[in-house]
């Protein structure tokens, strides 16, 4: 028998339940994040009373952990309490401007101290009451989780869509500008905590930042990754450790292509926003000669085709000429009136930037790009060394040194 389709009533009820479930998850996440921040604040302020802060702080956290684990379980290890402490120090204005100590002192009474008169939490006076409310007001946690996204939200402030696991991962990012960038991108792209960790490990911010001036760096830290021109799209290097392929001279381009298609979702995440997969091994025929483009994408922000050619080994000027052929063909034969000029990207294991520059010239360099790819996740030191080399090359090119 043919299975009956769900009734309109069922679909509506299902939507209600799914929405409620998501709301509960956000509420729990917000409560956990707020509690951890509050614990961190209490530890820091108690430490500041000690005469020898380092020694006093270590003993304080160890004693607190021992008691909390007896009462609340293993979630309050010394290591976790250290995370809470660092969370508060990294995000001191997490719920808005700092609250004077006098007001904070009264707040503990409002939380129900026995034998003392309760005082009321500050009343809501504007649409931004959540921002202005004292962070210690645990009674506001349900309201926090229900609050709609404030368009005035800034990195470094609470957001209900970021879990404690997100924030714990963000604590590893040293620079405030880079950390702000990852907060914005995690929200814009709905990254899971695992995806956020992978982007941090691959130094996404540094890879995007290397070709930007001071204004471009500021936009990364305040707006995230915005695609406004072709050079904003491509990263160098491209990190594709998720393929699980070994570094081997026997690796062939078909193996690399097969692995990328088999891990297309992860590959699209590494390429960045706007990429839509169109085809693989796209054939073009010119007077009886057949050519095959490895991967074809369409970029939904730039409104253009992007052709990707895969190369095992060092890039040559012949490789660049071949990609120029593909780009010119697409511009003449496939491009529609609404499309921007076609872009090309060669992914290779190594390249000579001077060869790329002199082969392409200034006009083609705005349409064709070359990026190295990494089959393993490089260490932070390796990536930083490579980025320093790139920055030095850019400076030499800019200043003619």
Is 188 found in the same domain as 79? no
Question: Cis bond leading into 237, ω under 30°?
Answer: yes
Same domain, 246 and 292: yes
Residue 107 sits at the vertex; the CA angle it makes with 101 and 109, to the nearest 5 degrees, is 125
What's the CATH code of the domain at 375? 3.40.1350.10
DSSP element (H, E) containing 381: helix 380-399
Co-location of 246 and 141 in the same domain: no
φ and ψ at residue 367, rounded to 5 degrees: -120, -25
Q: Does some domain include residue 150? A: no
Coarse DSSP helix, strand, coil percentages of the chain, rounded to the nearest 5 percent: 55, 10, 35
Within 272-379, where are the H helices? Answer: 317-329, 353-364
Q: Are residues 15 and 45 in the same domain?
A: yes
Tokens of residue 42, six digits: 């209490």
pLDDT value for 37: 92
Q: Report strand pairing: 368-374 vs 343-348.
A: parallel
Q: Would you say residue 182 lies in a domain?
A: yes
Which range, 29-38, 106-115, 220-229, is most confident? 29-38
Q: Which of 67-76, 97-106, 348-357 has the lowest mean pLDDT?
A: 97-106
Spatial strand order in the sheet of 289-299: 238-239, 368-374, 343-348, 304-310, 289-299, 275-286
**What φ, ψ does residue 220 adopt, rounded to 5°?**
-60, -40
Place of tokens 């970021």: 162
The per-residue pLDDT for 89 is 93
Residues 260 and 347 in one domain: yes
Contacts of 138 (CB under 8 A, 6+ apart): 34, 35, 38, 111
Check residue 190 and report its DSSP letter. T
Q: Any idea of the CA torsion for 66, 71, 75, 76, to the nearest 10 degrees?
A: -40
Q: What is the mean pLDDT of residues 293-310?
A: 94
The residues near 232 (Cβ < 8 Å, ≥ 6 apart) are 225, 226
Percentage of the chain lying above the pLDDT 70 cut: 75
The torsion region of residue 26 among left (phi > 0), alpha (psi -120 to 50) and beta comes to alpha
For residues 259 and 380, membership in a common domain is answered with yes
Tokens of 278: 């169109």
CA dist., res. 10 & res. 16, Å (int): 10
User: Is residue 267 domain-shared with residue 351, that is, in the same domain?
Assistant: yes
Q: Domain for residue 107, yes or no?
A: no
3-state SS class at 49: coil
Residue 334 has pLDDT above 70, yes or no: yes
> How many domains are contained in the chain?
3
Q: Which domain holds residue 202?
A: 172-226
| pTM, full prediction | 0.63
Least confident stretch, 241-245, 316-320, 342-346: 241-245
| Banded model confidence at residue 323, pLDDT cuts 50, 70, 90 | very high
Domain membership of residue 152 (yes or no) is no
Q: Angle at CA 381, nearest 5°, toward 375 and 387?
A: 75
Please tell me whether residues 189 and 138 are part of one structural domain: no
First to last CA, the chain: 78
**Closest residue by Cα to residue 183 from 239, 212, 222:** 222
- The mean-pLDDT minimum among 86-95, 277-286, 306-315, 376-385 falls in 376-385
Distance, C-alpha 188 to centroid of its chain: 9
Which among 194, 209, 226 is the end of a domain?
226
Integer CA distances (angstroms), 325 to 75, 319, 321, 343, 378, in order:
59, 10, 6, 12, 33
């Amino acid at each position: 028998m043919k299975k009956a389709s769900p009734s309109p009533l069922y679909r509506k009820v299902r939507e209600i339940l799914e929405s409620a479930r998501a709301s509960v998850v956000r509420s729990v996440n917000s409560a956990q994040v707020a509690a951890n921040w509050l614990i961190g604040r209490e530890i820091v302020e108690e430490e500041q009373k000690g005469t020898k802060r380092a020694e006093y702080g270590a003993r304080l956290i160890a004693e607190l952990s021992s008691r909390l684990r007896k009462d609340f379980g293993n979630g309050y290890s010394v290591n976790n309490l250290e995370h809470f402490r660092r969370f508060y120090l990294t995000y001191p204005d997490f719920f808005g401007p700092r609250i004077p100590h006098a007001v904070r002192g009264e707040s503990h009474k409002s939380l129900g101290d026995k034998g003392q008169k309760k005082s009321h939490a500050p009343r809501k006076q504007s649409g931004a009451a959540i921002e202005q409310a004292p962070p210690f007001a645990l009674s506001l946690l349900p309201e926090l989780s229900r609050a709609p996204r404030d368009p005035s939200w800034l990195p470094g402030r609470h957001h209900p869509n970021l879990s404690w696991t997100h924030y714990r991962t963000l604590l590893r990012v040293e620079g405030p500008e880079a950390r702000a960038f990852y907060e914005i991108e995690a929200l814009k792209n709905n990254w899971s905590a695992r995806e956020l960790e992978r982007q941090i490990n691959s130094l996404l911010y540094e890879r995007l930042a290397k070709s930007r001036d001071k204004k471009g760096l500021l936009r990364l830290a305040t707006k995230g990754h915005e695609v406004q021109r072709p050079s904003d799209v491509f990263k160098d290097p491209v990190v594709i450790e998720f393929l699980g392929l070994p570094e081997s001279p026997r690796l062939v381009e078909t193996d690399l292509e097969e692995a990328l298609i088999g891990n297309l979702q992860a590959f699209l995440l590494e390429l960045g926003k706007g990429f839509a997969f169109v085809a693989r091994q796209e054939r073009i025929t010119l007077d009886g000669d057949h050519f095959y483009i490895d991967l074809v994408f369409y970029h939904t922000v730039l409104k253009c085709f992007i052709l990707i050619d895969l190369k095992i080994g060092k890039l040559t000027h012949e490789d660049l000429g071949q990609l120029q052929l593909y780009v010119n063909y697409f511009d003449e034969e496939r491009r529609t009136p609404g499309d921007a000029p076609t872009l090309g990207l060669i992914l290779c294991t190594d390249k000579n930037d001077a060869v790329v520059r002199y082969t392409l010239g200034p006009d083609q360099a705005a349409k064709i790009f070359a990026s190295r790819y990494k089959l393993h996740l490089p260490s932070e030191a390796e990536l930083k060394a490579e980025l320093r080399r790139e920055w030095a090359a850019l400076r030499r090119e800019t200043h003619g040194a």
